[in-house]
Each structure stands twice: as structure tokens, then as C-alpha cells.
Amino acid sequence: MLDRHEEFRSRRDRLLSAIGTGVAVFRSAPVVRMHADVHYPYRQDSDFYYVTGFNEPEAVAILAPQHPEHQFVLFVQPKDRHAEMWSGRRLGVEAAIGALAADAVYPIDELDQHLAAYLKTGDRIFYRLGNDPAFEQRLL
């Protein structure tokens, strides 16, 4: 039986093979506010979790099989002790590389700096449209 990390790696490998010369982009589920400053319990987007095994909001995963160094890239929230008092612990950039077996991990604030370079490695983009119009504009 595969351990947790091997299971997610196996899923990514199958997807990397299936997308061929394309690039797949996955966005984590947003935090949903119940009212005022109370949020519903967080539930990750199923597709995002299936590929990454990561259960935190404000993250993006990129699978780029044609990139020479980074086939699995994550953009995550950095560690922030103050924010973590309210929203719970975060894995952070440094820990995510080992914990999630990513080839590269960046702070989510650097997504716009790196996104185009990863998208250019493919001849098409795989992304589920219709869930986040603001992010779709950034992507396109």
C-alpha cells in the first residue's frame, strides 16, 4: 500500500503524463465567511487536494511537465505567527517543499512574477473555468 506522499505523487505523475505538453493550474478553495468575522470550517477544493494533498486556502498548484526543473510548483501563504493565531497553523513556503514533495514553492504573493514563465512551457492550459473570475483574468 502506498503511503500518503507516494499516493499524491502517483496522482501527479499520472496527470503530468496525461496533459502531455500542456500546463495544468489548480486553485485552492476560498475561505467562506459565515457572517462578520466568523468563517465556515474550511473545506479544500477536491481537485486541488487530490493532486497536492494540501489543505490550506490561498494556494495555487501548477503542473508543468515540459518545464526543465519544476514540474510540480506550489504558491502558498508564508508563515505568519499573528495570522496563525486566528486562522490556524500554516505549513509555509520552506516546509511545503519537503512536506508536499514539490519541485518549487513560492509565496502566493509572487504568483504574478512566476506564472507566465510556467505557462509558456506548455502549448495549452488546463484550468476549470467558472469558479473564480478574478483569478481567471490573471491567468488569461
pLDDT at 4: 78
Chain centroid to CA 10: 17
Contacts of 34 (CB under 8 A, 6+ apart): 40
8-13: average pLDDT: 94
Query: Can you give the pTM of this predicted structure?
Result: 0.92
Contact 72, 48 (CB under 8 A): no
Q: What is the mean pLDDT of residues 54-68?
A: 96
Identify whether the C-beta of residue 77 lies closer than 8 Å to the C-beta of residue 90.
yes
